[in-house]
Amino acid sequence: MSRGIPADSWKRIRPGRLIQNAVALMLSSGGTAVLGVVFWGIATHLASSAAIGRTSAEIAAMTLLANLAQLSFGSVFERFLPVAGELTRSFVARAYVMCVSFALVATIVYVSSGFTNRFLPSSFSWRLLFVAAVVFWTIFVLQDSVLIGLRASRWVPVENILFALAKLALLPVFLGVSASQGIFLAWSAPVALAIIGVTWYLFGTRIPEHEAMNPSSEELPSIRELVLLAGAQYTTLILSVFTTSIVTLIVIERLGAVANAYFYVPALISSGVALLLWAITRSFLVEAASEPYALRHHTNVLIGTLAAVLIPCVLVGAVFAPEFLRIFGSSYSVHGTTLLRMLLLSELLGVFSIFYTTFAWLDQRVWWTTLRQLVSVIVYFVVLLTLIGHFGILSVGIASLVSSGVQGIFFLPVSVKRYRLTSNADAP
């Protein structure tokens, strides 16, 4: 038995809720990633490359706006819902209202500004549909964080895989309705049903159970502290969006819709690996906040799980990159293999940033991480914008490798130092 862990808690810790919840989140990420590959594989055979490029940009814009509209409450939920106690219901409800309001206003401004003119139909009905899709997607993503923060992660893969299957089934139907917008319709339509089902479960069952069984074990941050934490994470989110979603818009603007299709598929595959890593660290954050007396134990599990997942994914992905991309068509294999290998290797280099960022949330010291991320993002865009005219989509891979290397230099020393401070006896 590890020193410092209460005897009556050891049996509850030993089976490893961290592993159970991480596996659930990895099943969700892995399952949706595989089904996403199938979705885009079918789409590439049913739609033109130009349509793939336009609708991928449309989905990227929707995801960008929804991520911004979350106001960092995803991370806030995962850090503080485990200790929110009787304040859980009001905490979640108020966050929903704030995020939905922001999503509505931000999307209307975005559409009205003309940024969507290159990929979104000009009719009022299509633009109204886009606004509604962003609002629904904001709630859809937020509710996963609520489930995770309430230690109900087992329902996350059920929700997301059913959603992925639904959009896959609807793809040929909506492509028959609209060749240019069928992909976006299939991607967005099942969200409403997912929101209804999960909201009913959360407010009808899980939140009342959590409030009854988990009295507040830690003082929640003040409004000022919460604003500072959310502001730091929001800044990090914006920086992350610049290295993911907005790059799609840059590629389609500089290189065209066809090149964007060849970029988007490798980026989609590599992002699946990143989602697996974040699934593990999100589970760690919830368990470490819930059981601070077992911090060293949870940290060791975190490190072992990250290594066990990341290394095989990168090796298999790099070796079989041409075969994976050939699913989408021979042209995707020709143009995207090298880029996919670069992006997978950058995930390996960037794991230290993910590790330390999780501890920054646990310690409520997020701004320090944000400043370090800012430097790597600046490096990323300098490299990308300098090389895109000469190397095309490969400039994205080069920029990812360079910025991930910078992150490794920044975060490896502080990650080692933070690990040495963990203990099974002390709260974080």
Spatial distance between the Cα atoms of 310 and 277, rounded to a whole number of angstroms: 7
Report the helix count and the strand count for the chain, using DSSP H and E.
19, 0
Nearest to 351 by CA among 281, 423, 266: 281
**Contact present, 62 and 133 (Cβ < 8 Å):** yes
Could you tell me the two tokens for 295? 């911090």
Spatial distance between the Cα atoms of 75 and 236, rounded to a whole number of angstroms: 11
* Residue type at 222 in one-letter notation: S
Q: CA angle 162-72-384, nearest 5°?
A: 90
* Residue type at 347 in one-letter notation: E
**Contact present, 143 and 202 (Cβ < 8 Å):** yes
Q: Where are the alpha helices (DSSP H) in 244-365?
A: 245-254, 257-290, 295-319, 321-326, 330-349, 351-362
Spatial distance between the Cα atoms of 335 and 394, rounded to a whole number of angstroms: 9
Residue 121: what pLDDT?
Answer: 67
Residue 100: what pLDDT?
Answer: 92
Q: CA angle 234-80-211, nearest 5°?
A: 140
Output the pTM of the full model.
0.69
**Contact present, 48 and 39 (Cβ < 8 Å):** no
pLDDT 10s per residue in the chain (428 long)?
A: 344 444 444 444 444 677 777 788 878 877 887 888 788 888 878 877 777 777 877 888 888 888 888 887 877 888 888 877 788 888 888 889 989 999 999 888 888 887 666 667 667 777 888 889 999 999 998 998 899 888 888 888 888 899 989 988 888 888 877 776 788 888 888 888 889 999 999 998 888 888 887 665 556 666 777 777 777 777 777 777 666 667 877 888 788 877 888 888 888 888 878 878 877 887 887 877 777 777 788 888 888 888 888 899 889 988 998 988 888 878 888 888 889 999 999 888 888 888 887 787 777 777 777 777 788 888 888 898 889 888 888 888 999 899 888 888 878 888 888 878 776 554 43
Nearest to 366 by CA among 356, 376, 375: 356
Residue written as token pair 């595989």: 34
Question: Any idea where the domains of the chain sit in the sequence?
Answer: 17-420
Residue written as token pair 């929707």: 62
What does the buried/exposed string (b/e) look like for 136-162 if buried means 16 or more CB atoms within 10 Å of the residue's CB? Answer: bbbbbbbbbbbbbbbbbbebbbbbbbe
Nearest to 77 by CA among 230, 231, 238, 274: 230
**Contact present, 78 and 214 (Cβ < 8 Å):** no
**Contact present, 28 and 279 (Cβ < 8 Å):** yes
Spatial distance between the Cα atoms of 254 and 381, rounded to a whole number of angstroms: 14
Spatial distance between the Cα atoms of 106 and 256, rounded to a whole number of angstroms: 26
Spatial distance between the Cα atoms of 149 and 158, rounded to a whole number of angstroms: 17
Element (H, E) at 169: helix 155-177
Q: CA angle 183-187-192, nearest 5°?
A: 140
Spatial distance between the Cα atoms of 256 and 269, rounded to a whole number of angstroms: 21
**Contact present, 171 and 43 (Cβ < 8 Å):** yes
Residue 410: what pLDDT?
Answer: 79
* Residue type at 220 in one-letter notation: L
Residues in CB range of 251: below 8 A, 6 or more apart:
259, 260, 263, 388, 393, 396
Q: Where are the alpha helices (DSSP H) in 81-154?
A: 88-112, 124-149
Residue 428: what pLDDT?
Answer: 38
